[in-house]
Structure 1
Amino acid sequence: MTDTPSTTYGTPPRFAWLPTDTLVVDERYQRSITKDGWKRIRKMAAAFAWQKFGVLLVSEGDRIGDHAVFDGQHRLETARLLKLPEVPCIIVDAPDLAAQAVAFKGVNKDRIGVTRVNIFWADHAAGVPQAVAIKELCDACGVVISRVGTGRQKPGHTVALAAIEACMALDEESLRQGLRALVTAQGEAENAFRSATIKALTRLHAMNPGKVEQERLVRILADLDLDDEIDEARIAAKSFRGKTEIALQMRLTRAYNKNLGADRRLEEPRL
């Protein structure tokens, strides 16, 4: 029996009381605290007890002595609100941004309240190729990947990461064309970059390679209320037991084909 810790599972963590002013939260892969989050923090502070505080999970100190917190952001702010000089921490071996993002994802991926967007930004910070590729594609098309995973999205912002990933696998160039058309037509509209719309436009281009007249498509999209279009598509899809994005693609295709000669018309999908 050896007293030397096994290295199979990495470096064992250690416990320490750390000054609150040396603890930082990296918003490159973690979400900012919301209005509801601050309400929760104030409630925690009002009923504070060490028995309920637990420990924060943090990285080893960097060159200036700061420790990245990847589990316990709300408890840290509670401690600061109470002006506690130190808090109990478990220090793990995560010496750089990528390692810290991996640790954050590992701790939080199965928890309620940690969204796909949070996991995406952790993957991106860790250099996961798929996340990097999605970010590069969205940047090139003028689409902003939101850091807020719920509620209506600001103009040009999206949280439709699963849809974008699926469309990249289907036809990346068609996805690019669809996103660029949407940016041009609806870039100033709230909540325009939803899953159904992104999938519908990608499918529209993929089914009609080289045939879509982008200027015409942009004019069609600019005249639409996409919230209404998705609602109508959802109703049609439910009636025919189809998919909302295909019903939306059908609506967009019919609007595009109106008053066009047969040689310029796009192929319609089937529900």
Structure 2
Amino acid sequence: MPLSAVKEKLAGAALASKTKAEQASTDLGPSPRLEWLPLERLSVDRRYQREMGKDNWAHVHRILREWNWLHYQPIVVAPKEGGEGYVVVDGQHRLEAAKKHPLIDRLPCYVVDAVDVAQQARAFVALNARRIGVTRLQRFWAAYAAGEPTAKRIHRICSEAGVTITKSGGVLPPKTTFATFTIEKLLKVGGTHVTTALKILARTHGDKPDVFKSAWIYALTQLVATKDIGCARVSHTMTGLDLDQVAAAARSARAKEGGTMEKAVLAELRRRCEAALRRAA
């Protein structure tokens, strides 16, 4: 097939996909309503709802400790089939937390007319399967906007090193990172060490895309904090270093020995720093 025909076919497929995505449903189903319902009228149908294990109860207790109406989302309920009251379609953790809270005796509920257990189960699956989770990066930016000290500290550390924290994923531009969770874990090593590590990476490989990732930030911070190697040796070792070669060696070692990529990169960089020290001795 000629290239022009291929391009025309792909363009047509893209247009058809876009048109399909923009189509709206014609059957909206019965309209829901919002009601404040007493806790004693709310229950959970275990025929399709998940069982409450240790982790579930830990989540319930976390909600209980942090309960604030400003952060509350109404639970989704449906009239109980063949009886009084309502069953929870989505939100059983919030319900269990509310039952334990001494100041709460009713909840604002989003009531849908799923008339039998089959419809309720389908609604449960749809609500959970189509939910887009909040990423760690999105949580970071929300925390930063809220003025949380840890998020502000991470932002300051990156800014001091001339590194930008992105708001989206994908290929990272030069001197850009999304490794806020890794940096947060490294704060116990020392914020100054993290800043120094970022500055070394910016000086030696700041012109390259997709570099400021967790493995490099973790490994460099740990090495900078190690007294037997020192910042100067780390910086000298990183200068002109082929990062792809280091990453390949780390992946090979990880395949044999297990562990995380962060620790594999750390081990490979440490090996190179120590070899440079021996040559200099």
Give the TM bin, normalised by the shorter chain. Answer: 0.5 to 0.7
Q: Unpaired runs of 5+ in structure 2?
A: 1-15, 33-69, 74-129
**Aligned residue among 142, 156, 164 for 2:162:** 142
What SS does structure 1 have at the residue aligned with 2:184? helix
Query: TM-score, normalization: structure 2?
Result: 0.52
Give the CA deviation at 1:208: 1.9
Instruction: Render the CA deviation track for 1:68-112: whole Å, top value 9, x for unaligned.
Output: xxxxxxxxxxxxxxxxxxxxxxxxxxxxxxxxx9799xxxxx943
Give the CA deviation at 1:168: 1.0
Instruction: Render the CA deviation track for 1:31-83: whole Å, top value 9, x for unaligned.
Output: xxxxxxxx99864433355838x99xxxxxxxxxxxxxxxxxxxxxxxxxxxx
**Aligned residue among 175, 191, 212 for 2:230:** 212
Q: For the residues of structure 2 that align with 1:231 and 1:195, how far apart are their CA atoms?
A: 16
Pick closer, same or farther for the CA change 1:158–1:259 going to 2, 3 Å. closer
Instruction: Find out whether 1:194 has 2:171 as its counterpart.
Output: no
Q: For the residues of structure 2 that align with 1:187 and 1:50, how far apart are their CA atoms?
A: 53
1:260 aligns to what?
Answer: 277
**Aligned residue among 158, 174, 180 for 1:161:** 180
1:238 aligns to what?
Answer: 255
**Aligned residue among 95, 103, 128 for 2:148:** 128
Partner AA of 1:159 in structure 2: F
Query: TM-score, normalization: structure 1?
Result: 0.54
Q: For the residues of structure 2 that align with 1:43 and 1:124, how far apart are their CA atoms?
A: 37
Equivalent runs, 1:174-185 vs 2, <5 Å: 174-185=193-204
1:47 aligns to what?
Answer: 24
2:239 aligns to what?
Answer: 222
**Structure with more of its chain in helix, by fraction:** 2
How many pairs align?
Answer: 173
Query: What root-mean-square deviation, in Å, do the aligned CA atoms of Structure 1 and Structure 2 show?
Result: 3.5
Q: For the residues of structure 2 that align with 1:188 and 1:195, how far apart are their CA atoms?
A: 18
Percent sequence identity is 31
Q: For the residues of structure 2 that align with 1:51 and 1:249, how far apart are their CA atoms?
A: 55
Confirm or deny: 8 A CA contact 1:177 1:205 kept in the other structure: yes
Q: For the residues of structure 2 that align with 1:175 and 1:217, how far apart are their CA atoms?
A: 13
1:119 aligns to what?
Answer: 139
Instruction: Render the CA deviation track for 1:147-166: whole Å, top value 9, x for unaligned.
Output: 113x2211111111111001
Confirm or deny: 8 A CA contact 2:144 2:152 kept in the other structure: yes
Larger C-alpha radius of gyration, 1 or 2?
A: 2
Q: For the residues of structure 1 that align with 2:131 and 2:230, how far apart are their CA atoms?
A: 43
Q: Unpaired runs of 5+ in structure 1?
A: 1-38, 56-100, 105-109, 266-271
Partner AA of 1:121 in structure 2: W
Instruction: Render the CA deviation track for 1:118-147: whole Å, top value 9, x for unaligned.
Output: 121111111111111111111111111111
What SS does structure 2 have at the residue aligned with 1:207? coil
